[in-house]
Amino acid sequence: RDYLIQVPLNDLRSQNAHTLLGSLWLVLNPLLQVGVYFLVFGVIMPIDRGVDSYLVFLTIGVFTFFYSQRVISDGARSVVTSLGLIRTLRFPRATLPIANTVGQALSFGPVLAVMVVVVLAHGNLPTWRWLLLPVLFTLQTMFSLGGSFATARFNHLYRDLENLLPFVFRLLFYVSGVLYSVDHYIDDPLVRTLFLLNPMYCYVTAWRWVMVGNSASGAVMAATAIWAVVSLTVGFALFRSGESSYGGTG
């Protein structure tokens, strides 16, 4: 238990220890990402995106999407970067992806605070839906941890995976409704149903419904729970299936 808390905290402190702004980069990094996308798609290319407050829409989408991306991408390296520790000590290997997820969850705290400020600054008052924030965050973290387990397993087998993941997430970014409203552009009920197969779309859409009341079907909300359970169950099973080999060369 100490490892699961102390190691992520130490990693957070050391991440930007040698930079001028230090831990402020935990907030500045996602803010700059939002700023770039808003400049391109909100100022330079002011097209109809199907939403009223595009900055709020974009902030929620970018922040929540990149949370899962960081958990899963960093989790892919959690085993291969700890081979020395694995070969030296006996401990549950699952603590490596879990510790990574705990660290990312802690770093999401300041990001969430900024997201709340942006939402409130644009006239969106808290509603009863905000009570669902801890539930939604837990479900997304469960999903992301499951993905972290799976990528850690496969990256140990095939080291090329960590180089492919940025391209996979770039594709997911553009098909998850982060930059645009899926409901505004897609009318076909069958196509909308297919979007439920994209967990990132489900979580981004659910966060927008909870925070600002953007439309989200009951199917989307149910999918957030289903994806969380399926991902964590399958991901952990995959990780455990190769646990005995993690001290080897892969």
pLDDT in tens, 2-28: 566 666 656 665 655 566 555 677 778
Q: Which tens digit of pLDDT belongs to each residue from 69-100?
A: 999 999 999 888 888 878 887 778 899 999 99
The answer to whether 151 and 141 are in contact (CB under 8 A) is no
Q: Which tens digit of pLDDT belongs to each residue from 134-175?
A: 999 999 999 999 999 999 999 999 989 999 999 999 999 999
Q: How far apart are CA 29 and CA 33, in angstroms?
A: 6
The answer to whether 49 and 180 are in contact (CB under 8 A) is yes
pLDDT attached to residue 250: 43
Residue type at 28 in one-letter notation = L
Q: How far apart are CA 164 and CA 166, in angstroms?
A: 6
Phi-psi map region of 99: left, alpha, beta (phi>0 left; psi -120 to 50 alpha): alpha
Q: How far apart are CA 145 and CA 148, in angstroms?
A: 5
User: Which is nearest to 148 in space by CA: 70, 205, 211, 225?
Assistant: 70
198: which residues sit within 8 A by CB, 6+ positions away? 172, 175, 176
Q: Which tens digit of pLDDT belongs to each residue from 26-82?
A: 778 888 888 898 888 777 876 666 677 889 999 999 999 999 999 999 999 988 888
Phi-psi map region of 112: left, alpha, beta (phi>0 left; psi -120 to 50 alpha): alpha
More confident residue, 210 or 82: 210
